[in-house]
A = this chain, B = another copy of it.
Amino acid sequence: MKLLEEMIRKYGEIKNDEVLLVDSFLNHQIDPQLMMELGKDFVRHFKNKKITKILTIETSGIAPALMCGYLLNVPVVYLKKSKSKILNEELYETTVHSFTKDIDYLITCRKSFLSSDDSILFIDDFMANGEACLGAIDIIKQAHAQLAGIGIVIEKAFQQGNAKVSQAGYEVYSQARISSLEKNEIQFIDESAVPRTFCGIDR
Is there a chain B Cβ closer than 8 Å to A157's Cβ? no
A74 shortest CB reach to chain B, Å: 8
Residues of chain B contacted by A109 (CB below 8 angstroms): 28
Is there a chain B Cβ closer than 8 Å to A176's Cβ? no
How many copies of this chain does the complex contain?
2
Stretch in A75-83, A131-139, A148-156, A179-187 with 4+ CB within 8 Å of B:
A75-83
**A16, B139: Cα distance in complex, Å:** 29
Is there a chain B Cβ closer than 8 Å to A116's Cβ? no
Is there a chain B Cβ closer than 8 Å to A167's Cβ? no
Secondary structure type dominating chain A contacts: mixed
Contact B32 A75 (CB under 8 A): yes
Is there a chain B Cβ closer than 8 Å to A1's Cβ? no
Chain A contact residues, CB within 8 Å of chain B: 15, 19, 21, 23-25, 28-33, 35-36, 58-59, 62-63, 66-67, 69-70, 73-78, 80, 86, 109-110, 112-113
